Amino acid sequence: MSDTEKKIADTRGQYLQAVSQGQRLTDAEWRNCRIVLTTERIALVGDSKRQIALSEIDRLTDRFDVNQQSAGVSEYVGFHVDDDVLLVTASNHAAFETDLYRAALDGAVVLAQHPALKGGVVQDTEWTKGRLKVSDETVRLALADGQAVDIDRADIGDLSVEEKQVSGAERTVIQVEHSEDDISVETHLAGEEFQATVLRTMLEDSAEANRADLDLSATEKRVIMALHSGVSPFDIPNFVGIDVEKTEAIFDRLVELDVISVLRERTEVALTTKGRRVAGDRMGEQ
């Protein structure tokens, strides 16, 4: 281990070689191992020792069910390295995933545009450098201008990925929607290929966990869109074209569905993560 390499985690788990040199191994089995994770590599120590340099990982996946052995495990990480795929599961898998994200991203410098959108409105914000810090709950971005942006992983309403020109190069841009002071904002992030791969995987997992799947009426969706665009709850009846009693009934239903939360009893509401997700889906339909 080099002077700069630091150990992040040391735990027990299993690994399964799903693909070797491009060939799917349908008879592969899980093997018990010790998992040592550092800032530079992951080592799997069992009957033999396997090492994967973090910089060599092409992408991560949460499912790659090559056979019944792999399908029978509920949580694992799939490491795609060249023509190989290695599946790894830890005894405390949620903690291991966070440690993996920390190993790959803590201290990484990325390009950020924050906020790129605010309340659904495009902002004239320049790209700037930022340094990442990952925890169980948040992704913190320390920007070069002194701003500290906290993206709550449980507050991510939507996420999309595009290839764009950023600072004179074609880059993968991760567009993540979250909230600041109860206002929907969108932060755009771009980095080196490996960092972008890990960051995208982590944020997609959070977005998927927060995904809204609700049966809402057209009027309820219009109320959500109005709140998303910054209309005051007091102005919803006139803005949407419904009476106060109907508005109150819709608010009650949306509170029950965890789409909005009450800030002041019967007077003020704000969209939750699920509500912002509905608004994002609605905007995509228009």
Strand partners, 37: 9, 42
Structure-token pair, residue 224: 């959500």
Residue 249: inside a domain, yes or no? Answer: yes
Q: Is the confidence at residue 266, as pLDDT, over 60?
A: no
Q: Are 127 and 120 in contact (CB under 8 A)?
A: no
Instruction: Determine the average pLDDT of the residues in 172-180.
Output: 91
Residue 96: inside a domain, yes or no? Answer: no
Q: Is the confidence at residue 176, as pLDDT, over 60?
A: yes
Residue 102: inside a domain, yes or no? Answer: no
pLDDT for 188 equals 95
Domain boundary among 156, 186, 209: 209
Together in a domain, 118 and 204 = yes
Together in a domain, 240 and 165 = no
User: For residue 226, what are the domain limits?
Assistant: 218-285
Average per-residue pLDDT for the chain: 87
Instruction: Determine the average pLDDT of the residues in 75-89.
Output: 94
Together in a domain, 118 and 44 = no
Residue 98: inside a domain, yes or no? Answer: no
Helix (H, G, I), strand (E, B) or coil at 234: helix
> Would you list the DSSP string of 31-45?
EEEEEEEESSEEEEE
Together in a domain, 117 and 184 = yes
Together in a domain, 159 and 184 = yes
Helix (H) or strand (E) holding 70: helix 68-71
Q: Is the confidence at residue 108, as pLDDT, over 80?
A: yes
Residue 97: inside a domain, yes or no? Answer: no
Q: Could you count the other beta carbons within 10 Å of the beta carbon of residue 283?
A: 13
Q: Is the confidence at residue 211, as pLDDT, over 70?
A: no
Together in a domain, 280 and 196 = no
pLDDT in tens, 40-51: 999 999 988 999
Domain boundary among 46, 65, 91: 91
Q: Is the confidence at residue 267, as pLDDT, over 60?
A: no
Together in a domain, 114 and 204 = yes
pLDDT in tens, 119-163: 888 899 999 999 999 888 899 999 998 889 999 988 888 889 999
Residue 134's domain is classified under what CATH number?
2.30.29.30
Q: Which of 57-66, 82-91, 191-200, 258-267 has the highest mean pLDDT?
A: 82-91
| Count of structural domains, the chain | 3
Closest CA to 37 of 98, 81, 83, 80: 98
Residue 34: inside a domain, yes or no? Answer: yes
Together in a domain, 115 and 86 = no
Residue 273's domain is classified under what CATH number?
1.10.10.10
Residue 2: inside a domain, yes or no? Answer: no
pLDDT for 63 equals 87
pLDDT for 255 equals 85
Together in a domain, 122 and 198 = yes
pLDDT in tens, 224-265: 888 877 788 888 888 888 888 898 898 888 888 877 877 665
Domain boundary among 45, 65, 91: 91
pLDDT for 264 equals 61
Residue 82: inside a domain, yes or no? Answer: yes
